[in-house]
Amino acid sequence: MEFTAKVIADLLSGKIEGDKNATVSSLSKIEEGTEGTLSFLANPKYLKYIYTTKSTIVIVNKDFKADKKIHTTLIRVENAYDAFAKLLNYYKQQKEDKTGIDKQASIAFDAIIGADAYVGPLAVICEKASIGKKSKIYPHVFIGENVEVGENTIIYPGVKIYPDCIIGNNCIIHAGAVIGADGFGFAPQQASDYAKVPQVGNVILEDNVEVGANTTIDRATLGSTIIRKGAKLDNLIQVAHNVEIGENTVIAAQTGLSGSTKLGKNCMVGGQVGFAGHIKIADGVKFAAQSGIPSDIKKENEVVMGYPAFNYTKYQKSYVYFRKLPDLVNRISELEKKIKELEGN
């Protein structure tokens, strides 16, 4: 795809300095720019590259002032970083603007495919499933019976969505994610073995949810495992049965949420955080990476770390002491030895 400076400036409501017919076909970092590419300058750290870059077009802030001659076409905007992000989204949408059903796709006779949707080769869409208009189902995706997928949702290659799950509008599910596998439910038996507890609920992803690659979200035992609107899940996350994740909560990779945990809205969870089951977390709580959460957190907007996790500031102060524990133990041992010697004398 090729874009002229004029097309880009119109899209970004920017002002051109240079050749309005300058054409670009790809994107690059400003320090690695080559002819035919588009870059941006937002961080002053990279200012020197504006004078040497070979990028054909560079997006800059409206108030940018050059100290010497610039050889590239500039597009001035209110905020170069935001404008470039907008352009990236537009570029991606244009690049992935696929429609139609591939002849190698397997679609049940009573499945519903919305207008302008895309279904790639070797995708499987089972009985009574529905795909909303303009959604994209990439190759090797499995959509189970009675699954509902909303509009403008993207499901990347290899995703598996088990029966009866509901996916909202404008969701993104990345490659290898599994939505709706059985929750980890087993009942101990007298013979020291386990009986599987049927998992008959489903998973609901509300609108604007993003799920990272190889993340797993288990179906509920009864009812629903729910990811509320706007939540963003990184790669390699485990969400157990009957968990509820609040609106606009973001969770980093390798985090695990045990069954029936309720995580509030607008929370931020670092990588490798572990949540015990059947606990409730207030809105706006932030968790440092590798924290362990064994019980409820009732205070909103709390910041916690450690295991068991507690207030971040108190943890930092405590760390000053417990990192010295080996030295303190040695000192106490020496004092005890001296006390015994004195008692002996």
Q: What is the DSSP string of 202-250?
A: EEEE-TT-EE-TT-EEEPPSSSEEEE-TT-EE-SS-EE-TT-EE-TT-E
Say how far apart CA 281 and CA 109 lie, in whole Å.
44
pTM for this model (two decimals): 0.85
Residue 80: closest CA among 33, 56, 47: 47
Residues 308, 314: Cα–Cα separation, whole Å: 13
pLDDT digits (tens, 9 = 90+) for 201-214: 999 999 999 999 99
> How do the residues of the chain divide into helix, strand and coil, expressed in percent and rounded to 5?
20, 30, 50
Contact (Cβ atoms closer than 8 angstroms) between residue 206 and residue 168: yes
DSSP one-letter code for 15: E
Cis before residue 308, ω within 30 degrees of 0?
yes
> Which class is 100-315 in CATH?
mainly beta
Sketch the domain layout of the chain as residue ranges.
3-95, 100-315, 316-345
Domain 3-95 matches domain 100-315 at the CATH topology level: no
For residues 5 and 191, which has the higher predicted lDDT (pLDDT)?
5
- Angstrom distances, CA of residue 329 to CA of 99, 325, 326, 332, 342: 69, 6, 5, 5, 20
What angle separates helix 80-95 from helix 5-12, to the nearest 10 degrees? 110
Tell me the per-residue pLDDT of 90-127, one tens digit each, with 9 for 90 and over.
888 877 788 999 999 999 999 999 999 999 999 999 99
Provide the pairing of β-strand 73-77 with 15-17: antiparallel
Kindly report which listed range (87-91, 128-132, 164-168) carries the lowest average pLDDT score.
Answer: 87-91
Class of domain 3-95: alpha beta
Burial class (CB in 10 A: 0-12, 13-18, 19+), 182: middle
**How many whole angstroms separate alpha carbon 267 and alpha carbon 334?**
47
pLDDT in tens, 48-78: 999 999 999 999 999 999 989 999 999 999 9
Distance CA 184, CA 79 (A): 48
pLDDT at 141: 98
Q: Alpha helix locations (H) across the chain? A: 5-12, 80-95, 312-322, 325-344
Residue 241 is a catalytic residue? yes
Q: Determine phi and psi for 106, rounding to 5 degrees.
A: -110, 110
Q: What is the mean pLDDT of residues 251-267?
A: 98
Residue 184, both tokens? 């980890």
Which among 140, 174, 241, 278 is annotated as catalytic? 241
Strands 166-167 and 224-227: unpaired
Question: Do residues 42 and 61 lie in contact, with contact meaning Cβ atoms separated by under 8 Å?
Answer: yes
